[in-house]
């Protein structure tokens, strides 16, 4: 046999060997949500896929948040699951949860890859970070997957008016709450805004925000957008300060809030107006840690629970469980993942199972999520919960805090209201309708 | 390029042929058969990865032509992908242009804009040109994100733009399976065109400019014209890739086209091998797959030992960084060069030396 034929046979052999190897690697899991029986009540397992940002630009906050999401479901399962009365059998049965987490590094292609790998075996997905939500939304709508989102972005409302069943209040609605508070406490006040113009988008869109401010009788003096990488804010502060506002609302992340306060102190304008931290991720304790007494008098928005409430029973449970599982102390990031998405979602699954039994379809699980009422897990998720198809967010309640002379955040008000500015456009409704 | 022993080119046509020997034809056809069969056996995940890598190959080929062949640095390749992607999404969804027409037009749009940023190339080169094109990255993304032309059409701004699925003759290509065949076809055509370009007059002019601009000008090469052409072609490739990506994912978002992504295209071409079509392919496959499996490895490590979760989270970056370092140390001329050496060794076997 000539050497040419030997080479040909060798090459074909390599190709033939490669094809089954690829086929084996490419075989996807076939199982969907499963049920199992034991000596006690029948147990059912809901499989959940989590797109985590353990790495990437937002890892600092999303890593504990994502770990917390895994642990929260694991905690429920470790403690015997959730009992429900199956209307089909008339018996008590148990829901348990199996979470598959995949790091996506806050990048779109890995998130899409993870989704493609998991979608055949998992019916419910959850994630942190806006970029991934946006990237995944069209595929999930097409595949009719349930998506429990923990995001602040109003953007997603445009994509997933019905599939987005969880999550936080949009940035613009948080801002609306602050405006309501100012209108109530100082009618006709002059405000200025510093918002973020970061990789994940702007925290405010100027025109709808301006319209809302004017509708409340507040005087608008200007808005400045900070790049996500800004290391100095003096130029923006100078322009804003020249308009003599009564309030400066900082609609930016915690680190930038601290940066603004430091710059204002250096410029000698710290005491000239009331500072307001407009985003819930501005946890008061974090800001105090960063800027010390420059935060004195700061008013801010925070969700449901303060990180100072260490004697809370729920806090103790989380601290003990995370220490046991991760060897790590809990912190604010854990609270967000644990409570705002997962524990409320567990309640949603229970409501759905009580009504429809087992197995659950995507629409049935969505029904459960949208019918959570005033959920409270060991006083951690204490704010009233109100969801409806037109307001597809778990949270419509936030606390206002003020940092007092001892640099201790104290509650000064509770705000409960529906969406202000974020609207579901007609195009989004059309997208969803079959 | 060396040929197997005993095979000689005896005509210009033979010298220019992309596929030259019967063995090459057989191997190529076998590869096509395997590629056509692939999505029938592979799951969603692998089909997605193929589509992603193939679209990357198309974009990387564009940068390879500009940088590897013509020596023109572009730090805005991801932005040109964005131009193609947004153009295509807008044409299909707002102007109701058929996808088959929007696909090449999106390439043309990106190419024309690329020509604008090619003008500085007449005056500056090297890192200075890199800085000039870097401005393009930021300007293009800023214009898209701020919806500057909303009187004419909307880009959706930061809130992104929903892109209809690609559709040909009434058949929707939303699924990864169907999109696979389109992406494969476009990739093969684009590779072929790139290969032909590099062996044609224009390719030789590009190489002459890359190697010595003054000498090229002395030989009668219109340096400015060919530089602009290189930008047009390179950005055309990026635009085509952008269009495919947008219609595949169903969304046009500026977050897909960051400056970091432009840097990665640099990495792809460097690791794959400058001045080689095969290099762009190797680089795309290796870098994309490396990231994908590094993420999975990091996640797996954190799951196996939760107390190491924080450290495991850093693993993907460490793995990718390490591979980059090793590749640059042991094969600075790129994977294509290594592949070339393997082929040569195989052809000479058992007389490798």
Which residue do the tokens 């004697």 mark? A311
Question: From the CB of residue A328, how many other CB atoms can be counted at a distance below 10 Å?
Answer: 16
Task: Report the alpha-carbon distance of residue B275 to residue B286 in Å, rounded.
Answer: 17
Task: Among A138, A326, A429, pick the best mutation site for testing chain B contact (most B Cβ within 10 A).
Answer: A138
Confidence class of residue A311 from pLDDT cuts 50, 70 and 90? low
User: What is the predicted ipTM?
Assistant: 0.77
Confidence class of residue A330 from pLDDT cuts 50, 70 and 90? low
Calculate the alpha carbon distances from B48 to A383, B31, B43 in Å: 42, 19, 9
Give B-chain residues touching A8 at CB under 8 angstroms. Answer: 23, 26
In tens, the pLDDT along A181-205 reads: 899 899 999 999 999 876 556 777 7
Token representation of residue B30:
């076998």
Give B-chain residues touching A26 at CB under 8 angstroms. Answer: 41-43, 45-47
Give A-chain residues touching B48 at CB under 8 angstroms. Answer: 112-113, 116
Which residue do the tokens 């500072």 mark? A275
Determine whether the interchain pair B48/A325 forms a contact, defined as Cβ–Cβ distance below 8 Å. Answer: no
Which residue do the tokens 């290189």 mark? B230
Task: Report the alpha-carbon distance of residue B329 to residue A151 in Å, rounded.
Answer: 43
Between CA B158 and CA B166, with CA B162 as vertex, the angle to 5 degrees is 140
Determine whether the interchain pair B46/A22 forms a contact, defined as Cβ–Cβ distance below 8 Å. Answer: yes
Determine whether the interchain pair B307/A52 forms a contact, defined as Cβ–Cβ distance below 8 Å. Answer: no
Give B-chain residues touching A112 at CB under 8 angstroms. Answer: 48, 52, 249
Task: Among B32, B36, B43, B344, pick the best mutation site for testing chain A contact (most A Cβ within 10 A).
Answer: B43
Q: Which positions of chain B have pLDDT values less than 50?
A: none
CA B210 to chain centre: 19
Give B-chain residues touching A321 at CB under 8 angstroms. Answer: none
Determine whether the interchain pair B41/A120 forms a contact, defined as Cβ–Cβ distance below 8 Å. Answer: no
pLDDT the model gives residue B127? 83
A377 has a pLDDT exceeding 80? no
Who contacts A189 (Cβ-Cβ below 8 Å, separation ≥6)? A182, A183, A218, A219, A246, A247
Determine whether the interchain pair B295/A110 forms a contact, defined as Cβ–Cβ distance below 8 Å. Answer: yes
Token representation of residue B316:
């993907």
Asked whether the beta carbons of A28 and A49 are under 8 A apart, the reply is: no
Determine whether the interchain pair A8/B49 forms a contact, defined as Cβ–Cβ distance below 8 Å. Answer: no
Asked whether the beta carbons of B295 and A104 are under 8 A apart, the reply is: yes
Give A-chain residues touching B6 at CB under 8 angstroms. Answer: none
User: Which residue does chain B place closest to A118, by CA atoms?
Assistant: B45
pLDDT the model gives residue A422? 44
Determine whether the interchain pair A202/B158 forms a contact, defined as Cβ–Cβ distance below 8 Å. Answer: yes
pLDDT the model gives residue A157? 46
Which residue do the tokens 């500015």 mark? A421
Closest CA to A168 of A56, A60, A62, A304: A304
pLDDT the model gives residue B193? 96
Tell me, what DSSP letter sits at residue B166?
P
A27 has a pLDDT exceeding 80? no
DSSP bridge partners of A102 = A51
Determine whether the interchain pair A4/B42 forms a contact, defined as Cβ–Cβ distance below 8 Å. Answer: no
Who contacts A208 (Cβ-Cβ below 8 Å, separation ≥6)? A172, A421
In tens, the pLDDT along A269-285 reads: 999 999 998 876 556 77
Give A-chain residues touching B49 at CB under 8 angstroms. Answer: 113, 116
Task: Among A29, A110, A198, A203, pick the best mutation site for testing chain B contact (most B Cβ within 10 A).
Answer: A110
Task: Report the alpha-carbon distance of residue B338 to residue B286 in Å, rounded.
Answer: 14
What mean pLDDT is reported for chain A? 75
In tens, the pLDDT along B291-318 reads: 888 888 888 877 777 666 667 767 777 8
Exposure string over A387-426, b if 16+ CB within 10 A, otherwise e: beeebbbbbbbbbbbbbeeebebeeeeebeeebbbbebee
Give A-chain residues touching B159 at CB under 8 angstroms. Answer: 155, 158, 201
Instruction: Give how far A169 is from chain B: nearest CA, Å.
Output: 17
Determine whether the interchain pair A109/B52 forms a contact, defined as Cβ–Cβ distance below 8 Å. Answer: yes
Between CA B67 and CA B70, with CA B69 as vertex, the angle to 5 degrees is 70
Give B-chain residues touching A52 at CB under 8 angstroms. Answer: 299
Q: What is the dihedral of CA A339, A340, A343, A347, to 10 degrees?
A: 150
Task: Among B57, B158, B308, pick the best mutation site for testing chain A contact (most A Cβ within 10 A).
Answer: B158
Confidence class of residue A95 from pLDDT cuts 50, 70 and 90? very high
Determine whether the interchain pair B295/A102 forms a contact, defined as Cβ–Cβ distance below 8 Å. Answer: yes
Give B-chain residues touching A101 at CB under 8 angstroms. Answer: 299, 303
Higher pLDDT, A168 or A260: A260
Give B-chain residues touching A22 at CB under 8 angstroms. Answer: 38, 41-42, 46
Range ranked top by mean pLDDT from A146-160, A292-306, A374-388, B229-243: B229-243
Asked whether the beta carbons of A177 and A398 are under 8 A apart, the reply is: yes
Give B-chain residues touching A207 at CB under 8 angstroms. Answer: none
Give B-chain residues touching A159 at CB under 8 angstroms. Answer: 160, 162, 251
Determine whether the interchain pair A155/B159 forms a contact, defined as Cβ–Cβ distance below 8 Å. Answer: yes
Task: Report the alpha-carbon distance of residue A152 to residue A31 in Å, rounded.
Answer: 33
Give A-chain residues touching B176 at CB under 8 angstroms. Answer: 116
In tens, the pLDDT along A28-69 reads: 343 335 455 556 889 999 999 988 878 776 676 677 778 888
When computed from its CA atoms, the radius of gyration of chain B, rounded to whole angstroms, is 21
Determine whether the interchain pair B26/A8 forms a contact, defined as Cβ–Cβ distance below 8 Å. Answer: yes
Closest CA to B113 of B78, B140, B86, B146: B140
Token representation of residue A401:
């805090």
Determine whether the interchain pair A110/B46 forms a contact, defined as Cβ–Cβ distance below 8 Å. Answer: no
Task: Report the alpha-carbon distance of residue B272 to residue B287 in Å, rounded.
Answer: 9
Determine whether the interchain pair B298/A54 forms a contact, defined as Cβ–Cβ distance below 8 Å. Answer: yes
Task: Among A52, A55, A145, pick the best mutation site for testing chain B contact (most B Cβ within 10 A).
Answer: A55
Closest CA to B152 of B86, B213, B63, B58: B86
Nearest to B317 among A12, A55, A101 (CB): A55
DSSP bridge partners of B162 = B251
Q: Specify the pairing of strand A299-302 against strand A274-277.
A: parallel
Between CA A178 and CA A184, with CA A179 as vertex, the angle to 5 degrees is 100
Task: Report the alpha-carbon distance of residue B218 to residue B209 in Å, rounded.
Answer: 11
Inter-chain CB pairs, A–B, below 8 Å: 142
Determine whether the interchain pair B249/A7 forms a contact, defined as Cβ–Cβ distance below 8 Å. Answer: no
Calculate the alpha carbon distances from A38 to A76, A156, B171, B268 in Å: 18, 41, 48, 53
Task: Among B3, B39, B82, B160, pick the best mutation site for testing chain A contact (most A Cβ within 10 A).
Answer: B160
Structural element, H or E, at residue B107: helix B99-118
In tens, the pLDDT along A112-137 reads: 888 888 888 888 888 766 556 667 77
Instruction: Give how far A48 is from chain B: nearest CA, Å.
Output: 15
Helix residue ranges, H only, chain B: 12-16, 22-41, 44-63, 77-93, 99-118, 127-145, 176-199, 201-211, 213-218, 223-249, 259-272, 277-304, 309-313, 315-330, 335-348
Determine whether the interchain pair B46/A25 forms a contact, defined as Cβ–Cβ distance below 8 Å. Answer: yes
Confidence class of residue A8 from pLDDT cuts 50, 70 and 90? low
pLDDT the model gives residue A432? 33
Asked whether the beta carbons of B35 and A15 are under 8 A apart, the reply is: no
pLDDT the model gives residue A56? 73
Task: Report the alpha-carbon distance of residue A386 to residue A389 in Å, rounded.
Answer: 10
A1 has a pLDDT exceeding 90? no
pLDDT the model gives residue A142? 77
Question: From the CB of residue B151, how many other CB atoms can be counted at a distance below 10 Å?
Answer: 7
DSSP bridge partners of A103 = A52
pLDDT the model gives residue B155? 85
Determine whether the interchain pair A200/B255 forms a contact, defined as Cβ–Cβ distance below 8 Å. Answer: yes
pLDDT the model gives residue B56? 96
Main-chain phi, psi angles of B352, to 5 degrees: -60, -25
Determine whether the interchain pair A102/B291 forms a contact, defined as Cβ–Cβ distance below 8 Å. Answer: no
Give A-chain residues touching B158 at CB under 8 angstroms. Answer: 155, 201-202
Determine whether the interchain pair A105/B316 forms a contact, defined as Cβ–Cβ distance below 8 Å. Answer: yes
Instruction: Give how far A165 is from chain B: nearest CA, Å.
Output: 19
């Amino acid at each position: 046999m000539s050497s040419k034929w030997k080479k040909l046979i060798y090459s074909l052999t390599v190709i033939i060997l490669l094809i089954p190897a690829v086929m084996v690697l490419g075989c996807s899991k076939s199982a969907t949500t499963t049920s199992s029986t034991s000596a006690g009540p029948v147990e059912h397992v809901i499989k959940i896929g989590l797109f985590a940002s353990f790495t990437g630009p937002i890892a600092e906050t999303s890593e504990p948040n994502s770990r917390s999401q895994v642990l929260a479901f694991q905690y429920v399962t470790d403690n015997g699951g959730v009992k429900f009365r199956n209307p089909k059998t008339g018996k008590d049965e148990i829901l348990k949860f199996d979470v598959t987490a995949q790091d996506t590094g806050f990048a779109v292609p890995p998130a899409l890859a993870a989704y493609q790998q998991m979608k055949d075996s998992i019916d419910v997905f959850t994630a942190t970070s806006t970029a991934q939500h946006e990237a995944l939304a069209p595929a999930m709508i097409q595949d009719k997957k349930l998506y429990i989102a923990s995001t602040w972005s109003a953007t997603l409302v445009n994509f997933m008016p019905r599939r987005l069943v969880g999550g936080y209040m949009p940035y613009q609605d948080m801002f609306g709450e602050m405006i309501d508070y100012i209108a109530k406490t100082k009618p006709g006040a002059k405000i200025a805004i510093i918002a973020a113009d970061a990789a994940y988008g702007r925290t405010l869109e100027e025109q709808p925000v301006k319209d809302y401010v004017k509708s409340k009788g507040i005087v608008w003096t200007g808005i400045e957008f900070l790049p996500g990488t800004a290391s100095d804010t003096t130029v923006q502060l100078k322009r804003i300060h020249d308009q003599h506002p009564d309030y400066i609302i900082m609609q930016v992340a915690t680190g930038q809030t601290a940066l603004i306060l430091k710059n204002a102190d250096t410029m000698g304008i710290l005491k000239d107006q009331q500072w307001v931290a407009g985003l819930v991720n501005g946890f008061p304790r974090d800001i105090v840690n960063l800027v010390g007494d420059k935060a004195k008098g700061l008013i801010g928005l925070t969700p449901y629970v303060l990180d100072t409430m260490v004697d809370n029973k729920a806090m103790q449970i989380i601290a003990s469980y995370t220490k046991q599982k991760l060897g790590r102390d809990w912190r604010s990031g854990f609270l967000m993942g644990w409570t705002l998405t997962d524990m409320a979602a567990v309640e949603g699954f229970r409501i759905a199972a009580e009504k429809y039994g087992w197995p659950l379809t995507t629409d049935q699980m969505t029904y459960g999520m949208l019918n959570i009422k005033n959920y409270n897990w060991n006083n951690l998720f204490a704010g009233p919960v109100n969801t409806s198809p037109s307001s597809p967010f778990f949270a419509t309640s936030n606390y206002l805090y003020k940092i007092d002379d001892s640099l201790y955040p104290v509650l000064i008000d509770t705000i409960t209201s529906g969406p202000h500015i974020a609207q579901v456009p007609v195009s989004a409704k059309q997208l969803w309708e079959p | 390029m060396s040929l197997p022993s005993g095979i000689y080119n005896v005509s210009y046509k033979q010298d220019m042929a992309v596929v030259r020997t019967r063995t090459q034809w057989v191997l190529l056809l076998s590869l096509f058969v395997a590629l056509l069969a692939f999505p029938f056996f592979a799951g969603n995940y692998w089909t997605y990865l193929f589509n992603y890598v193939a679209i990357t190959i198309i974009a990387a080929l564009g940068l390879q032509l500009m940088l590897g062949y013509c020596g023109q640095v572009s730090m805005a390749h991801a932005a040109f992908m964005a131009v193609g992607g947004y153009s295509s999404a807008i044409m299909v969804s707002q102007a109701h242009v058929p996808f088959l027409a929007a696909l090449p037009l999106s390439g043309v749009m990106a190419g024309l804009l690329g020509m604008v940023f090619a003008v500085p190339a007449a005056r500056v080169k090297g890192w200075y040109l890199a800085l000039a094109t870097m401005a393009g990255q930021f300007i293009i993304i800023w214009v898209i994100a701020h919806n500057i032309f909303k009187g004419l059409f909307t880009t959706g701004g930061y809130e992104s733009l929903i892109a209809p699925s690609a559709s040909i003759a009434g058949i929707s290509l939303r699924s990864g399976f169907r999109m696979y065949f389109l992406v494969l076809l476009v990739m093969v055509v684009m590779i072929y065109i790139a290969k032909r370009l590099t062996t044609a007059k224009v390719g030789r002019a590009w190489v002459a400019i890359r190697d010595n601009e003054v000498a090229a000008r002395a030989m009668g090469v219109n340096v400015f014209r060919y530089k602009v052409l290189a930008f047009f072609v390179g950005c055309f490739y990026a635009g085509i890739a952008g269009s495919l990506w947008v219609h595949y994912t169903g969304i046009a978002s500026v977050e897909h086209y960051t400056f970091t992504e432009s840097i990665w295209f640099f990495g792809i071409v460097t690791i794959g091998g400058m001045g080689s079509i095969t290099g762009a392919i190797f680089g795309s496959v290796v870098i994309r797959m490396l990231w994908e499996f590094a993420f999975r490895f990091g996640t797996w490590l954190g799951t196996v030992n939760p107390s190491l979760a924080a450290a495991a989270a850093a693993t993907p970056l460490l793995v990718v960084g390490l591979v980059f370092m090793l590749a640059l140390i042991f094969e600075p001329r790129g994977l294509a060069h290594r592949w070339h050496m393997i082929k040569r060794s195989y052809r000479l076997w058992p007389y490798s030396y």
